[in-house]
Amino acid sequence: MGAKGISITFLGGAETVTGSKTLVQTDKHQVMVDCGMFQGLKQLRTKNWSKFPKQESKIDHVILTHAHLDHSGYLPVLARNGFDGTIHCTPATKRLAQLILLDSAKIQEEDAQEANEGQWSSHKPAKPLYTVADVEKCLKQFVTHKYGEWVILNEEFKFVLHNSGHIAGSAWVELRVKEEKIVFSGDLGRSRPMLLYPAHRCEEADYLVIESTYGGRVHEDNDPKDDLETIINETLKRGGNVLIPAFAVERTQEILYILGELLVAHKIPKVPIYIDSPMAISATDIFMDFEFRRPISDEIMAVLNDHMKEVRSPSESKKTVASTEQKIVIAGSGMLSGGRMLHYFERHIGEANCSIVLTGYQAEGTRGRQLIMGMPELKFFGKYHKVLARIYRLRNLSAHADQKELLLWINRISKKPKRVFINHGERVNADTLRVRIQDQFGIPSEVAEEGKEYLI
C-alpha cells in the first residue's frame, strides 16, 4: 500500500476497450468498479476463462457504471465464483443489465449447443461462459441508486453516481476512499448526445481514471442523418435492402429516431422498418420509460408507429428474411459476432444492390471490423460468404466522447486531479490521450497496465 494505504489495480480494460474491471483496495476493503467481459479477439476472449487474479469472495462491492457487456458481462462469473457482495448501479442500468446479461447467457448457451452439434468448436464439449441461471443469481445482488445520491459502503468508502450521457442510465463514479476522491469516468458520451442529456460536470478529483475509446480521434462533424438519407435513397432505387446491424441498446433507438425524422420530413420513401430483435424491442421500451432522455415529438412517434414492424419470434424472423419486399432491417448484433442479422447476411451479403450500414464501434477481431477493412469474404455459420453488398459506416453516431470532448470534460474540472490513469482504449488511443492530457494540463498521466497495482 502507498502513503494513503489505497491501491488501484486494473484487471481489464487496460490497453483494450473490453473487460473493464478496476479494483480499489485498502487493507480492510475491496471495491471493484465495473466487471466487464473481454470481447473481440480470441486472445482477449480466452481471458474470460482464466483464473480470476483476486479472491472473488473478498470483494465487498461492485459499482457498475453502465449495462454494456464490456462493463457488466463478467458479473455472473464473479458471483458464481464466490462474490456475494452488492452490485450498485442506477435503476435504468439494472433493467438494461438484466436484459443484456440474460440475452448474452442465452446466446452463449445456444452457441455452445450448436457448436457441439455441428462440431465447429475446437473445445470439446463447448461450454458457455455463464448460463441463464448464473445471471439470475447475480441479478439478486443488484441495488439501485439515483444520480446524485451518496451511498456509504463502509467506514472508508462512499460513492455517488452522475450522468455520463453514454447510454440510458450510464454513470461516472465519484468514489471517496478515506480522504481521497477518485473519479472513474466510465464511458463518457458525446458533448451533445442525440437522445440523452450530456454528461454531468466533474467538479474535483484527486485521481482520475478516464476512458480512451476515442482518445486518439476526433469525430467528423457531418450529420449521420444526411448520410443515412443518401444511403437509403440510393439503395432503394437500386432495388436493394438496407441492413443496419445495431446494438440493441441506444444505437437502435438513435437509428429509429433518425429514420423518424427522415420520414416526417419526407426525405425517404415510406418503407417498412423491421426491428428484428426482441432485445432491441425491450430496450426501446425501457428507453421510453425513463426521464433521462430528451423529449421526442408526437409526429416522430406517430410516423414510427406506422412504419416500424417488430419481429419477435424466430419463425417471424425467418419469414422476414425470406420476404422479397424492399425494406430497412435493424438487427443485432452490432459488431456481427452473432445475432439474427447474420441470417439477413446469408441471403443478401452477396447482392451488389444491397447496403450494409455499420453504426458503432467495431472492436478488433469482430466481423464488423473485417467489413470495415474491406475483407472480400466474411466467415459465418461455418463457411465463407462473398461480400458484394456495399459497406457503409456511420461514424459520427458514436456514443463515446472523442478526444476533444474527453479533454473538454477534464478541462471543466475545477480542482484538477494530481494523477490520471487512462483505461478502456486500444494502445494507440490511450497513449495519444495520455500525451494530450500531459501537454494541455500538465498532469502526470499513465496508460493503465493490466494486473499492475498502483499505489496512491
Nearest C-alpha neighbor of 326 from the set 341, 342, 307, 340: 307
Q: Indicate the burial class of 130 (C-beta count within 10 angstroms; 0-12, 13-18, 19 or more).
A: buried
Considering beta carbons, is residue 18 or 30 the nearer one to Zn ion?
18
Candidates 68, 293, 369, 390: give the one binding Zn ion (CB under 5 A): 68
Which helix H or strand E contains 62, and what residues bound it? Answer: strand 61-63
Please measure the distance between the N-terminal and C-terminal CA atoms of the chain and give it in whole angstroms.
Answer: 8
**Segment contacting Zn ion (CB under 5 A): 24-32, 187-195, 224-232, 300-308?**
187-195
Distance CA 401, CA 190 (A): 4
- In order, the DSSP letters of 373-436 are TT-SEEEETTEEEE--SEEEE-GGG-SS--HHHHHHHHHT-SB--SEEEEESS-HHHHHHHHHH
Residue 1 CB, nearest approach to Zn ion (Å): 31
Considering beta carbons, is residue 252 or 317 the nearer one to Zn ion?
252
Residue 337 CB, nearest approach to Zn ion (Å): 16
Considering beta carbons, is residue 187 or 254 the nearer one to Zn ion?
187
Considering beta carbons, is residue 7 or 398 the nearer one to Zn ion?
398
Considering beta carbons, is residue 68 or 340 the nearer one to Zn ion?
68
**Segment contacting Zn ion (CB under 5 A): 63-71, 75-83, 174-182, 228-236?**
63-71
Residue 149 CB, nearest approach to Zn ion (Å): 22
Return the C-alpha cell found at 302: 406517430
Please, are residues 164 and 65 in contact by the beta-carbon 8 Å criterion? Answer: yes
Residue 363 CB, nearest approach to Zn ion (Å): 12
**Segment contacting Zn ion (CB under 5 A): 14-22, 61-69, 129-137, 147-155?**
61-69
* 187 binding Zn ion? (CB under 5 A): yes
**Segment contacting Zn ion (CB under 5 A): 39-47, 183-191, 278-286, 339-347?**
183-191
Distance CA 44, CA 432 (A): 22
Considering beta carbons, is residue 187 or 276 the nearer one to Zn ion?
187
Residue 192: Cβ within 10 Å count: 10
Considering beta carbons, is residue 96 or 255 the nearer one to Zn ion?
96
Distance CA 221, CA 405 (A): 13
Residue 276 CB, nearest approach to Zn ion (Å): 23
Report how many residues bind Zn ion under the rule CB under 5 A. 2
Nearest C-alpha neighbor of 146 from the set 195, 93, 198, 182: 93
**Segment contacting Zn ion (CB under 5 A): 35-43, 122-130, 185-193, 342-350?**
185-193
Q: Considering only residues 357-416, where is the footprint of Zn ion by CB under 5 A?
A: none
Nearest C-alpha neighbor of 61 from the set 37, 43, 35, 100: 35
Residue 424 CB, nearest approach to Zn ion (Å): 9
> In 83-156, which ranges are E strands?
86-89, 142-144, 151-152
Residue 278 CB, nearest approach to Zn ion (Å): 21
Considering beta carbons, is residue 36 or 128 the nearer one to Zn ion?
36
Distance CA 366, CA 74 (A): 19
**Segment contacting Zn ion (CB under 5 A): 62-70, 124-132, 205-213, 329-337?**
62-70
Considering beta carbons, is residue 156 or 187 the nearer one to Zn ion?
187
Radius of gyration of the chain (CA): 22
Strand bridging mode 157-163 / 151-152: antiparallel
**Segment contacting Zn ion (CB under 5 A): 21-29, 182-190, 272-280, 339-347?**
182-190
* 217 binding Zn ion? (CB under 5 A): no
Q: Using CB under 5 A, list all residues that contact Zn ion.
A: 68, 187
